[in-house]
Protein backbone atom coordinates (compact mmCIF):
# COMPACT_ATOMS: atom_id res chain seq x y z
CA UNK A 1 0.00 0.00 0.00
CA UNK A 2 1.35 3.43 -0.97
CA UNK A 3 1.66 6.29 1.46
CA UNK A 4 -0.28 9.50 1.00
CA UNK A 5 1.91 12.63 0.88
CA UNK A 6 0.84 13.58 4.43
CA UNK A 7 1.47 10.10 5.84
CA UNK A 8 4.89 10.09 4.17
CA UNK A 9 5.67 13.53 5.65
CA UNK A 10 4.66 12.32 9.14
CA UNK A 11 6.73 9.14 8.78
CA UNK A 12 9.77 11.07 7.50
CA UNK A 13 9.46 13.51 10.39
CA UNK A 14 9.41 10.72 12.98
CA UNK A 15 12.45 9.23 11.21
CA UNK A 16 14.33 12.56 11.21
CA UNK A 17 13.98 12.81 14.99
CA UNK A 18 15.91 9.50 15.34
CA UNK A 19 14.33 8.90 18.73
CA UNK A 20 10.86 8.20 20.12
CA UNK A 21 8.71 11.27 19.59
CA UNK A 22 5.29 12.52 20.66
CA UNK A 23 2.65 13.42 18.05
CA UNK A 24 2.61 17.04 19.27
CA UNK A 25 6.34 17.36 18.46
CA UNK A 26 5.67 16.05 14.95
CA UNK A 27 2.70 18.43 14.53
CA UNK A 28 4.81 21.39 15.64
CA UNK A 29 7.69 20.39 13.37
CA UNK A 30 5.59 20.11 10.19
CA UNK A 31 2.95 22.75 10.95
CA UNK A 32 -0.10 20.50 10.92
CA UNK A 33 -2.78 20.26 13.58
CA UNK A 34 -2.36 17.76 16.40
CA UNK A 35 -5.57 15.82 15.51
CA UNK A 36 -4.43 15.44 11.89
CA UNK A 37 -0.97 14.20 12.87
CA UNK A 38 -2.39 11.89 15.55
CA UNK A 39 -4.81 10.36 13.05
CA UNK A 40 -1.97 9.69 10.59
CA UNK A 41 0.33 8.32 13.31
CA UNK A 42 -2.39 5.88 14.40
CA UNK A 43 -2.82 4.83 10.77
CA UNK A 44 0.94 4.40 10.33
CA UNK A 45 1.02 2.30 13.51
CA UNK A 46 -1.79 0.05 12.20
CA UNK A 47 0.19 -0.31 8.95
CA UNK A 48 3.25 -1.40 10.95
CA UNK A 49 5.37 1.64 9.98
CA UNK A 50 5.38 3.15 13.48
CA UNK A 51 5.26 1.60 16.92
CA UNK A 52 3.99 3.08 20.16
CA UNK A 53 6.73 2.99 22.77
CA UNK A 54 4.96 4.00 25.96
CA UNK A 55 3.64 7.26 27.36
CA UNK A 56 2.52 8.52 23.97
CA UNK A 57 5.86 8.18 22.17
CA UNK A 58 6.21 6.71 18.70
CA UNK A 59 9.20 5.50 16.72
CA UNK A 60 9.74 4.23 13.21
CA UNK A 61 9.86 0.47 12.65
CA UNK A 62 12.02 -1.58 10.30
CA UNK A 63 9.00 -1.78 7.98
CA UNK A 64 8.66 2.02 8.14
CA UNK A 65 12.33 2.47 7.27
CA UNK A 66 11.85 0.10 4.32
CA UNK A 67 8.80 2.09 3.17
CA UNK A 68 11.04 5.17 3.02
CA UNK A 69 13.65 3.19 1.06
CA UNK A 70 16.34 3.48 3.74
CA UNK A 71 19.41 1.23 3.72
CA UNK A 72 20.14 -1.14 6.58
CA UNK A 73 23.14 -0.11 8.67
CA UNK A 74 24.92 -2.93 10.49
CA UNK A 75 27.67 -2.51 13.11
CA UNK A 76 30.48 -2.61 10.52
CA UNK A 77 28.84 0.10 8.39
CA UNK A 78 28.16 2.22 11.51
CA UNK A 79 31.85 1.97 12.50
CA UNK A 80 32.88 3.00 8.98
CA UNK A 81 30.57 6.05 9.08
CA UNK A 82 31.83 7.14 12.52
CA UNK A 83 35.53 6.58 11.71
CA UNK A 84 38.12 9.37 11.72
CA UNK A 85 39.06 10.69 8.30
CA UNK A 86 42.20 12.12 6.76
CA UNK A 87 42.44 15.90 6.39
CA UNK A 88 41.74 15.51 2.66
CA UNK A 89 38.45 13.68 3.33
CA UNK A 90 37.41 15.88 6.27
CA UNK A 91 34.62 18.46 5.94
CA UNK A 92 36.14 21.92 5.51
CA UNK A 93 33.95 24.85 6.52
CA UNK A 94 33.68 27.96 4.36
CA UNK A 95 31.55 31.07 4.77
CA UNK A 96 31.44 31.66 0.99
CA UNK A 97 33.24 30.55 -2.17
CA UNK A 98 36.96 31.19 -1.65
CA UNK A 99 36.45 32.16 2.00
CA UNK A 100 37.56 29.25 4.20
CA UNK A 101 37.12 29.38 7.97
CA UNK A 102 40.23 27.18 8.45
CA UNK A 103 38.09 24.75 10.45
CA UNK A 104 37.42 21.17 9.49
CA UNK A 105 35.60 18.15 10.88
CA UNK A 106 37.60 14.91 10.79
CA UNK A 107 34.66 12.63 11.65
CA UNK A 108 30.90 12.70 11.96
CA UNK A 109 31.20 13.14 15.73
CA UNK A 110 33.70 15.99 15.23
CA UNK A 111 31.26 17.54 12.72
CA UNK A 112 28.52 17.39 15.36
CA UNK A 113 30.73 19.21 17.86
CA UNK A 114 31.94 21.84 15.37
CA UNK A 115 28.44 22.65 14.14
CA UNK A 116 27.65 24.07 17.59
CA UNK A 117 30.32 26.79 17.24
CA UNK A 118 30.65 27.45 13.53
CA UNK A 119 29.27 30.71 12.10
CA UNK A 120 25.62 30.27 11.06
CA UNK A 121 26.46 31.94 7.73
CA UNK A 122 28.74 28.95 7.04
CA UNK A 123 25.99 26.48 7.98
CA UNK A 124 23.54 28.20 5.63
CA UNK A 125 26.15 28.42 2.86
CA UNK A 126 26.92 24.70 2.98
CA UNK A 127 23.37 23.49 3.54
CA UNK A 128 21.82 25.33 0.61
CA UNK A 129 24.65 24.31 -1.76
CA UNK A 130 24.15 20.65 -0.80
CA UNK A 131 27.68 20.37 0.64
CA UNK A 132 26.62 18.56 3.82
CA UNK A 133 24.62 16.00 1.86
CA UNK A 134 27.54 15.41 -0.51
CA UNK A 135 29.98 14.88 2.39
CA UNK A 136 27.62 12.54 4.25
CA UNK A 137 27.12 10.52 1.06
CA UNK A 138 30.89 10.52 0.59
CA UNK A 139 31.47 8.93 3.99
CA UNK A 140 28.81 6.33 3.23
CA UNK A 141 25.96 7.82 5.26
CA UNK A 142 23.11 7.92 2.75
CA UNK A 143 20.55 8.06 5.55
CA UNK A 144 21.95 11.22 7.14
CA UNK A 145 22.28 12.83 3.70
CA UNK A 146 18.55 12.24 3.15
CA UNK A 147 17.70 13.71 6.55
CA UNK A 148 19.69 16.83 5.73
CA UNK A 149 17.95 17.13 2.34
CA UNK A 150 14.60 17.14 4.15
CA UNK A 151 15.86 19.82 6.55
CA UNK A 152 17.05 21.90 3.58
CA UNK A 153 13.54 21.74 2.09
CA UNK A 154 12.17 23.40 5.24
CA UNK A 155 14.18 26.58 4.51
CA UNK A 156 15.39 27.14 8.08
CA UNK A 157 18.04 29.72 8.90
CA UNK A 158 20.20 31.09 11.71
CA UNK A 159 20.11 29.50 15.14
CA UNK A 160 16.98 27.50 14.33
CA UNK A 161 18.88 25.82 11.49
CA UNK A 162 21.93 25.22 13.70
CA UNK A 163 19.76 23.61 16.40
CA UNK A 164 17.94 21.37 13.92
CA UNK A 165 21.16 20.33 12.19
CA UNK A 166 22.93 19.66 15.49
CA UNK A 167 20.01 17.67 16.94
CA UNK A 168 19.66 15.61 13.77
CA UNK A 169 23.37 14.79 13.51
CA UNK A 170 23.71 14.17 17.26
CA UNK A 171 20.74 11.78 17.38
CA UNK A 172 22.02 10.00 14.28
CA UNK A 173 25.51 9.63 15.81
CA UNK A 174 23.98 8.20 18.97
CA UNK A 175 21.97 5.72 16.91
CA UNK A 176 25.11 4.66 15.02
CA UNK A 177 27.13 4.43 18.24
CA UNK A 178 24.55 2.06 19.73
CA UNK A 179 25.03 -0.21 16.73
CA UNK A 180 28.81 -0.28 17.12
CA UNK A 181 28.87 -0.76 20.89
CA UNK A 182 32.32 0.90 20.77
CA UNK A 183 31.58 4.62 21.05
CA UNK A 184 30.22 6.02 24.27
CA UNK A 185 26.92 7.88 23.92
CA UNK A 186 27.41 9.51 27.32
CA UNK A 187 28.92 12.57 25.61
CA UNK A 188 25.46 13.64 24.40
CA UNK A 189 23.26 12.29 27.17
Give the per-residue pLDDT at 1.
53
Sign of the dihedral defined by the CA atoms of residues 62, 24, 145, 90, in that order: negative
DSSP characters over 101-145: EEEEESSHHHHHHHHTTS-HHHHHHHHHHTHHHHHHHHTT-HHHH
Cα within 13 Å of Cα(35), Cβ side = 0
Reported pTM: 0.76
Which CATH number belongs to the domain containing residue 34 in this structure? 1.10.10.10
pLDDT digits (tens, 9 = 90+) for 12-54: 999 888 789 999 999 998 899 999 999 999 999 999 999 998 8
| Domain match, 98 and 29 both | no
> Structural domain of residue 90, as residue ranges?
75-188
| Domain match, 84 and 170 both | yes
Of the ranges 72-81, 163-172, 178-187, the best mean pLDDT one: 163-172
pLDDT digits (tens, 9 = 90+) for 161-175: 999 999 999 989 988
Amino acid sequence: MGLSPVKKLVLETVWIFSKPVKPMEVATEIGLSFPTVMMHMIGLTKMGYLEASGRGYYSITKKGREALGLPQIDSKKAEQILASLTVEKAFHFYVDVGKPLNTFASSLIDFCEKIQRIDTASIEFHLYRGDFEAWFNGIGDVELARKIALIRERKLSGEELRRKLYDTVKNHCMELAKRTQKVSTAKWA
